Amino acid sequence: MTETLAAALEREHREIDEGLETYRASRLAGEPDSAALVRAIDGLRRHIYLEEALFFPPLRSAGLVGPVLVMLREHGEMWPLLDGLETEVGRDPGGDTAAGLLDDLVPRLAAHNVKEERILYPQADGVLDGEPAEQLRVFMTTGRMPPGWVCEMARPQPD
Report whether pLDDT(1) > 80.
no
Q: Which of 37, 45, 18, 11 is nearest to 102 (CA)?
A: 37
pLDDT digits (tens, 9 = 90+) for 67-115: 999 999 999 999 999 999 999 999 998 999 999 999 999 999 999 999 9
Euclidean distance between CA atoms 61 and 56, whole angstroms? 9
Q: What is the pTM of this model?
A: 0.95
Query: Residue ranges per domain, the chain?
Result: 5-144
Report whether pLDDT(13) > 90.
yes
- Percent of the chain, pLDDT > 70? 99
Task: Specify the pLDDT at position 3.
Answer: 87
Euclidean distance between CA atoms 104 and 132, whole angstroms? 34
pLDDT digits (tens, 9 = 90+) for 117-134: 999 999 998 898 888 889
The set of long-range contacts for 81-89, using a CB threshold of 8 Å and a minimum separation of 24, is 81/105, 81/108, 82/41, 82/44, 82/45, 85/37, 85/41, 86/38, 86/41, 89/34, 89/37, 89/38, 89/41
Give the pLDDT band (50/70/90) at residue 27: very high
The average confidence (pLDDT) of the chain is: 94
Cα within 13 Å of Cα(118), Cβ side:
6
